[in-house]
Amino acid sequence: MQELAEKGLERALILGAEYADVRIIENERRTISVRDSKSDKLSHTLGLGFGVRLIYNGGWGFAGSREVTEESVNKTVDQAISIGRASSLTTKKKVELVKVPSFVTSYETKIVKDPMSVPLEDILEVLISADKAFRSKSPHVRSTTSQIEARREIKYTVTSEGSKILQKFYLCGGEGRGIVRGNGQTQKRTYEINYSSRGYENIEDVDLPALASQAALEAESLLNAESCPLETKSDIILDDSNLGLQIHETIGHGTELDRVLGTEVDYAGMSFLTLDKKGKFRYGSNLVNFVADATVEGGAGSFGFDDEGVPAKRVDLVKEGRFVGYQSSRETAAEIGDYSSSGAMRASSPLNLPLVRMNNINLLPGDWKSGEIIEDTKDAILMRGQNLYSVDQMRLNFQFGPEIGWRIKNGEVTEVIRNPNYTAMSYEFWSSVDAIARDGWTMYALTGCAKGKPVQGVVVGHGGSRTRFRNIRIGVTGGT
């Protein structure tokens, strides 16, 4: 396989490509899911394919195929050349890439237990136990699902600048949820094992049935809970995967340089963080620090090298509340005069073009103890569980509706609140932060971050800890 990649690269250069890279990827995925305590999906996916990306006469060309033979590689390279030639018909300036050293090396996710070798019976037992645990605690349950997934990917990347990089990745995680109906309400509660670049130990470290039981109790409590107060302002506290989603939608997507430059306007949108704002714009309070960090051990978005051969790195995005940097590629970095890429280029499959994608976008820990944030709060709502999320094209106005809330009153967690939601402008929201915990910092993950056309879904990580936001608009229902 590696030889075919190198032959493809050689052919691209002989045919006149000014730059080329070839990725050959072999991947495997096991998905085990249970619905209503019965098997829903036991599937095993085996994939192989390659993609050729090149610059010809200043224009980009890309072609990919699942047929990994010499004949197919030759044909696909020829196709990429003709596409590059066609692209050059509209280019106003030739593509420029910032420099990157060449690497001949390998990288492998550190794992303890190969998730592909775990007997399926063992995984099913965990899932069915969790599913039954939810049902046993929930007399109003209508449906339950739970899933564990493991992925393995071997990627070989060669570039015309001399890099030859072999990477082997593992990813493992899962989740479950139950839908309950009663008292005129339909509610759901989700429990998760965050996807992580780890082996099956990521599953074994978590007591999934215990999480399911807790989720069921919370779902039941929602059926008789008070509604979120309507159209008012309140302090809110976030401390679970919904915080990860909030980071994802406002900070993660907002700092992608390709959006700023308009290359996603036809699908994923743009960003209000225009070039003039870099280094000047206040995106959060002084407590707020964000990094893009592909080096975090176990992070769902961690890797050794991105798809352009740029080594994993940690870059500042927001420092003490000030917007200071973008997630970038070699081309977008060159376009704004930066000297290096942030190392963000990833494709979801060998048949897709690499795009600027989040790796792990993390909110750095603060100085507070988690418990102190609650004790210090007079009146607020603690909101948990990913549910509704909607953000405008520029990543400014958003509305989130987590699964569950609890009222915090005079330093104590009190009654459950159903259908909580909040809305704000991104920069106002992060500027309202007045407390971030130093403990309980967790790497969350999103498995379906969508971007590009054809749409590519990738897994990304988001680290964070309990955070308090002041005076946020809540309870927006439009009167429904």
Cβ proximity to another protein: between 214 and 397 the closer is 397
Distance between CA atoms of 366 and 368, rounded to whole angstroms? 6
Residue 285, CA distances (Å) to 282, 348, 433 in order: 8, 34, 6
Q: Strand, coil or helix: what is 94?
A: coil
The 10 Å CB-count burial string (b at 16+, else e) for 33-62 is: bbeeeeebeeeeeeeebbbbbbbbbebbbb
- Give least dist CB 84 to another protein, A: 7
Cβ proximity to another protein: between 145 and 289 the closer is 145
- Give least dist CB 442 to another protein, A: 24
- Give least dist CB 164 to another protein, A: 24
Cβ proximity to another protein: between 98 and 312 the closer is 98
- Give least dist CB 427 to another protein, A: 10
- Give least dist CB 328 to another protein, A: 15
Q: Are 258 and 329 in contact (CB under 8 A)?
A: yes
Distance between CA atoms of 142 and 120, rounded to whole angstroms? 26
Q: Strand, coil or helix: what is 11?
A: helix
- Give least dist CB 480 to another protein, A: 4
Cβ proximity to another protein: between 338 and 392 the closer is 392
Cβ proximity to another protein: between 360 and 421 the closer is 421
Distance between CA atoms of 181 and 124, rounded to whole angstroms? 26
Instruction: Work out the number of other CB atoms within 10 angstroms of the CB of residue 269.
Output: 17
Cβ neighbourhood burial of 181 (10 Å; 0-12, 13-18, 19+):
middle
Residue 370's Cβ-side half-sphere holds a number of Cα atoms within 13 Å equal to: 12
CA nearest to 321, candidates 274, 398, 251, 244:
251
- Give least dist CB 403 to another protein, A: 11
Cβ proximity to another protein: between 74 and 185 the closer is 185
Cβ proximity to another protein: between 242 and 362 the closer is 242
